[in-house]
Structure 1
Amino acid sequence: MANAYNQRGGRVAVTNSDEVVGCVPLPYFLVRTDFLLSISLLQFMANEGLVPSPDETLKRRSIVLRLEKIVQDWITKVAWQRKRPENGISNASAGVIIYGSYGLGVHNSESDIDALCFGPFFATMEEDFFIGLHNVLKSTSGVSKIHCVKDAKVPLMRFIFEGIAVDMPYARLPENVDMLSPMLPTSIDETTLKILSGVRVNKRILQLVPHLENFQSLLRCVKFWAKQRGVYGHLFGFLGGIHLAILSAFICQTSPDFCLSALVLKFFNTFANWPWPIPVVLQDNTIQVVRDVIEKGWMPIRMPCSPSECCQSNVTRSTFTRIMNEFLRGHKLTMGILQPDFEWVNLFEPYSNMYRQLYSRFLKIDLLACAKDNLGDWIGRVKSRFPSLILKLEEMNVLCDPNPTEYVDQHSGNVDSKKSVVFYWGLGTDRPMDINVTSLEKDFRSNLSSGYRGMPGKMKLSIVPASELPNIVQLPKTKRMEACWRVPEHDQYRMPNSFTG
């Protein structure tokens, strides 16, 4: 049994990740140190621009209010066009539900707004939403770069509103529906349930976390860490926002009295030693779940709403290894949290600083759109198919490190940078010549074209040396960890019985 400490100045005996018992006085200097570490981390996040200003918050609220009015006016017009009864027109109701980072209160100045548009069954997605509402938004002052993403798993409209990106899916719902009702899945189709999953998870997390501000601070910290360390991005086989939100909520549930610095320590200690593929499950008395059951997939994380299912995941053998290495690195660094030379900046050192030193060869993915206005659509299409490319490489016994960073090709001076983007993925192999790039490109190109209704661009795969990567300025005073491509067996990870150190 080991000890951690809480906000009330008591020492908490920790017997396992789910149990906290006993409380004895903690020496004042440790309480003070914990407090100062938490304050310094909050200040660090503020300095990095992770906390929006009051003006930015007001601007987002204004945008949401405008969207709500636009949607309500739109549904009234649709009801009239559908020749609904007079009372049906006046009572026609639609609205906007905010979710994602903004819905959880962990957005920053660069975050987009995830806004679910919901309406009655008589308002169709194909005609009324993608045509009718699209035209309304297109003519709205402040809205620009609007386009429809119809072939995604969650169809949506994407646009810029007063300088802020908005992702807006659409769901047709029964009147007065309870989003968290166990009966909801029986009253809507599978596509709508998938569209609603983000909203439902958000709502349930906010109900389940014991201390909202602590949860928000931890999630801000964890998301920034994942982005800095190159393990953020569902489409790259890493952790997405919904995964990190549930992991952070789990830590807050199991340690409700911990300060921020102790929560960060607990986060890395827990998940560096988690017994994957046993799923992470939030404590929720309203849902009957079976714990400690091995799930399919490398890193299962259970959604806290019915039906009890795991979040969609693209984690593969390659990306699981990368994520675990980062958990272990974070655990190693935070175990020195009480050392006098500890600095939070080391935890968040950009992975890109060392990326070109870790691998001798890289898979270069060149993307070129037919026009600069189509680049966003083409990149989105290619990124949505990246999981299949990662799996294809693994079929060739090649582990890859899919860096999410988008680069401009410095070696093709005749290419318009506004129409092109390049990705570089580290290859964990000493024999890159064994990779059949021609076959790999042909297979991936076929995957890209299947069912795509947009304007296709060009895509080329090649293997290049590290010297071709763009130069990146190194940050001083940082600690570096070696890359490790050994893939541990599942049973090598165990839930820690206590904090160590």
Structure 2
Amino acid sequence: MASPGFVKRTNGRLGVTEPISLGGPTEFDVIKTQELEKYLADAGLYESQEEAVSREEVLGRLDQIVKNWVKNISRQKGFNEQFVQEANAKIFTFGSYRLGVHGPGADIDTLCVGPRHATREDDFFVELQNMLAEMPEVSELHPVPDAHVPVMKFKFSGVSIDLLYAKLALWVIPEDLDISQDSILQNADEQTVRSLNGCRVTDQILRLVPNIQTFRTTLRCMRLWAKKRGVYSNVLGFLGGINWALLVARICQLYPNALPSTLVSRFFRVYTQWRWPNPVMLCDIEEGSLGLPVWDPRRNFRDRTHLMPIITPAYPSMNSSYNVSASTLRIMTDEFQRGNDICKLMETNKADWNTLFEPYPFFEAYKNYLEIDIAAEDEDDFRNWKGWVESRLRFLTLNIERQTFGKLQCHPHPRDFSEKSKPLHCCYFMGLQRKQGVPSKEGEQFDIRATVEDFKSNVGSYILWKPGMEIHVSHIKQRNVPLFVFPGGMRPSRPPRVSKPKASSLTHSPSHMETFSENGDKSVDMADVSSIRNQFDSVVSVDVEEESKKRKHVEDAASRSLADVKRPAFAKSPETMNTIVHGTNAEESAVVLCAKEAEALDIKNLNGSSSPTVVALPEELDELGDCGIQGKPEEVGVAANGCSADKSDAKDVIMQTGSFGSSNPRNGGIEELEPLELSAPVYSGLPAPTSNAPKKPLIRLRLTSIAAKGTGGSS
């Protein structure tokens, strides 16, 4: 647990607010948690003892290697033998491995901390890299010195390693070095601060949660859920491992005595109601004494543009989720609502863990997709090219959103797909749909060809580009999605309906304060969901001035009812569990309702307590500045946002396709675009970009071929 020197406690609590509930687990919670742990074990989330021992051996071996490395470079730089013998470097771990939630085959995030005379450019990425390259245990060595956080990737005895480097302002690195102290950042360069941040944040999370084991089980659950539902990917605008860890840790602070099954339910309950962009924080943001910039939307304009701030707890505090876009935030909030609906059903044994973890049917959810194909000629080039393209994909999403004024929504799939018959080739996919509730006119279209061309030009500006590195972007209909993306290579004969489980209808009556009705159908009617939300909002939507009085009244009522009502003995049957959860009579039901009202008020208050006011400016996403285009893209003969009218009811997404480094696109040079069930509203009051758009409808489009690095002409 945390020591007083590291974590500030207020009135004995962890976090920036008081807990919502200090209640302990019921027998129902114990049973549900046992079911959850069994589900996670059956899903293969825990590594074997043999693999755990192997990882420890690899880390010990790696620590010895960096110690030898720093002695070698100290000798090469002319230091005396006594100094050489005292020279030291040390390996730290962070991420999922340090948190204790890694699974079989997962990589280990590691940090090498070295002295001031061991440089990153010449010593780490040259001398140490050469040492590793000569070792037979090391394979797939891939240095990335120009990354935002420079890293060296490789496999050591089959274990994947991501190795970062931090150069401290110390001549000798002590073996008992404590990197949690802020003084460790003194005179450190930006790359070192960012590299140290992973370890410092991970350790601080473990200090700020009330029960580490409960936190780990809950986090394993949420990581699995996020991967199943397709919202686990920081690089594509969703949330990565550290983001999910911070969200789960905050729930643990709010319910410090709850078991994992309850924490999962409360995770969805809290974040369904969270009013983004209010930030999620585990502790107060410290200004620090070193003058390093911290997340502060009151001072920093860029911080105001963040849509889903999740703030790291270690100095300097940063927003770990700046990649989130309007589309990915919408997708995640929809998934939180689905999870909340299912957890409500699980409380009455009308759903189970299988329902919660049901994979998202991405390729049945949309009628239109963008397919981004990439290829290279050798493994090293492909690895570099793939990493670069993947890092640019979120800018394609952001630009489509911006240039269609948010009316065309993109859903990027968080992983790539590859066909076994095509080595050194993979595909990414994005689902496309018109924003719901937007009126459209006959014949209106989304023309995203210029946006795609800008994206390809930006990708083609890769400084390590080589002949053979290709990218091809095309629009495909749902029925044309390639078979290799489906399990077993077989397209589902009857695509499942994308739906949410129907939530219980909430009604109130004098004789029974809370009753639930369920028709057994797991598909959801959006009108029912809207009704539920409206009823819930009527409970929590109270004036700020009245909240404290109502909170006290609720607590007093609950206390009186608890004193007067004797709860029946708990039985393990589903019927009894249902009775216990929802009460046996009006008095006990009143207790349940009072507790829920109190919890709802507390959750509402979370969004305003000790958090700076944030103003989101999604139309001015500053991250787009990183996506500048070098050179003028080729003219494609159509306006970036122009619309071509057709007399039919069809609505088209018009898109130009092409590839880098190839003069023979796979579709033979001509692509026929079928009418799409997408409509594009035209903002009549907004100036249209300058273009040479033809006035007649475009059905067949001539493909273009862009020469190496995106600067060539069209064919």
TM over 0.5: yes
Distance 1:391 1:292, change over 3 A: closer
Residue 298 of structure 1 is matched in structure 2 by: 307
For residues 319 and 22 of structure 2, the distance between their equivalents in structure 1, rounded to whole angstroms, comes to: 33
Provide the residue aligned with 1:280 in structure 2: 280
Give the drift of 1:450: 3.5
Q: 2:88 aligns with which of 93, 99, 111?
A: 93
For the residues of structure 2 that align with 1:304 and 1:362, how far apart are their CA atoms? 38
Instruction: Single out whichever of 134-143 and 268-277 deviates more from structure 2.
Output: 134-143
Residue 346 of structure 2 corresponds to residue 337 of structure 1: yes
Q: Which residue of 2 aligns with 1:327?
A: 336
Q: Distance in 2 between matches of 1:335 and 1:157?
A: 45
Instruction: State which of 422, 427, 431 in structure 2 corresponds to 1:426.
Output: 431
In the alignment, which of 47, 55, 62 is matched to residue 57 of structure 2?
62
Amino acid at match of 2:261: S
Output one character per residue of 1:315-354: Cα deviation in whole Å (capped at 9) or x when no partner: 0011010111111111111112222332101111111xx2
CA gap 1:223/1:455 in 2 versus in 1, 3 angstroms: farther
Whole-Å separation in 1 of the counterparts to 2:85 and 2:237: 47
Letter in 1 for 2:427: V
Any idea what the Cα deviations from partners look like across 1:144-167, whole Å, max 9, x if unmatched? 110111221111111111222111
The answer on 1:363 being equivalent to 2:374 is no
Which residue number in structure 1 is paired with residue 704 of structure 2?
none
Q: In 2 relative to 1, CA 401–285 (structure 1 residues): closer, same or farther, beyond 3 Å? A: closer
CA deviation string 1:351-405 (max 9, x = no partner): 1xx2222211101101011223422221111111122111111123221000023
- The 5 Å alignment of 1:408-487 reads 408=418, 417-429=422-434, 434-437=446-449, 439-450=450-461, 452-453=463-464, 455=466, 457-471=469-483, 472=486, 480-481=499-500
8 Å contact from structure 1 (residues 277, 296) kept in 2: no
**How many equivalent pairs are there?**
466
Over 3 Å counting, the alpha-carbon distance change for 1:455 and 1:71 in structure 2 is: farther
Q: Secondary structure at the match of 1:225?
A: helix
**1:31/1:256 Cα in 2 relative to 1: closer, same or farther (>3 Å)?**
same
Name the residue aligned to 1:395. 402
Aligned match of 1:50: 45
Question: 2:399, 2:451 within 8 Å by CA — same for their partners in 1?
Answer: yes
Q: 1:372 matched to which residue of 2?
A: 379
Query: What 5-or-longer segments of structure 1 have no aligned partner?
Result: 1-15, 411-415
- Please state how far the C-alpha of 1:477 moved relative to its aligned partner: 11
Which segment drifts farther, 130-139 or 335-344?
335-344
Distance in 2 separating the partners of 1:187 and 1:89: 23
CA distance in structure 2 between the aligned counterparts of 1:303 and 1:157, rounded to whole angstroms: 24
Matched to 2:268, the amino acid is F
Partner deviation per Cα, 1:416-469 (whole Å, 9 max, x = no partner): 5211001111012389952333x2333112322445335461111111101122
Deviations 1:185-233 (A, max 9, x none): 4421222111221111001111111111011111111111111100010
Within 5 Å, give how 1:18-417 maps onto structure 2.
18-20=18-20, 31-175=26-170, 178-283=178-283, 295-351=304-360, 354-397=361-404, 398-408=408-418, 417=422
The one-letter code of the counterpart of 1:448 is V
The alignment-based identity, stated in percent, is: 33
User: What is the CA-CA distance between 1:45 and the residue it aligns to?
Assistant: 0.5
Q: Which amino acid aligns with 1:107?
A: H
Structure 1 residue 499: Cα displacement: 8.4
Q: Is the 8 A contact 1:79 1:89 kept in 2?
A: yes
Amino acid at match of 2:267: F
- 1:7 is aligned to none
2:346 is paired with a residue whose SS is coil
SS of 1:70's partner is helix
**SS across alignment from 2:242:** helix
* Cα pair 1:361 1:432 within 8 Å, conserved: no
Q: Distance in 2 between matches of 1:54 and 1:18?
A: 39
The answer as to whether partners of 2:286 and 2:317 remain within 8 angstroms in 1 is: no
Secondary structure of the residue aligned to 1:203 is: helix
| SS of the residue 1:315 aligns to | coil
Task: Provide TM-score, normalisation by structure 2.
Answer: 0.61
Deviates further, 37-46 or 363-372 = 363-372
For residues 132 and 384 of structure 1, the distance between their equivalents in structure 2, rounded to whole angstroms, comes to 28
Distance 1:285 1:405, change over 3 A: closer
Q: Deviations over 1:28-54 (max 9, x none)?
A: xx8222111101101100111111111
Larger radius of gyration: 2
Comparing 118-127 and 251-260, the one that deviates more = 118-127
Distance change (3 Å), C-alpha of 1:277 and 1:285: closer
Q: Call closer, same or farther: CA 1:449–1:183 in 2, change over 3 Å.
A: farther
CA distance in 2 between partners of 1:63 and 1:478 (Å): 46
**Cα RMSD, aligned residues only:** 3.2
Does structure 2 conserve the Cα–Cα contact (< 8 Å) formed by 1:400 and 1:428? yes
Contact 1:251 1:263 in 2 (8 A): yes
CA, structure 1 residues 134+78, in 2 after alignment: closer, same or farther (shift >3 Å)? same
Amino acid at match of 1:366: D
Letter in 2 for 1:328: Q
Distance change in 2, residues 1:435/1:387 (3 Å): same
Label 1:21 to 1:424 Cα distance change in 2 as closer, same or farther (>3 A): closer
Matched residue type, 2:169: P
Q: TM-score, normalised by structure 1?
A: 0.85
Amino acid at match of 2:196: L
CA 1:183–1:373 in structure 2 vs 1: closer, same or farther (change >3 Å)?
A: closer
Residue in 1 that maps onto 2:607: none
Conserved in 2, the CA contact under 8 Å of 1:185 and 1:307?
A: no
Matched residue of 1:345: which SS?
helix
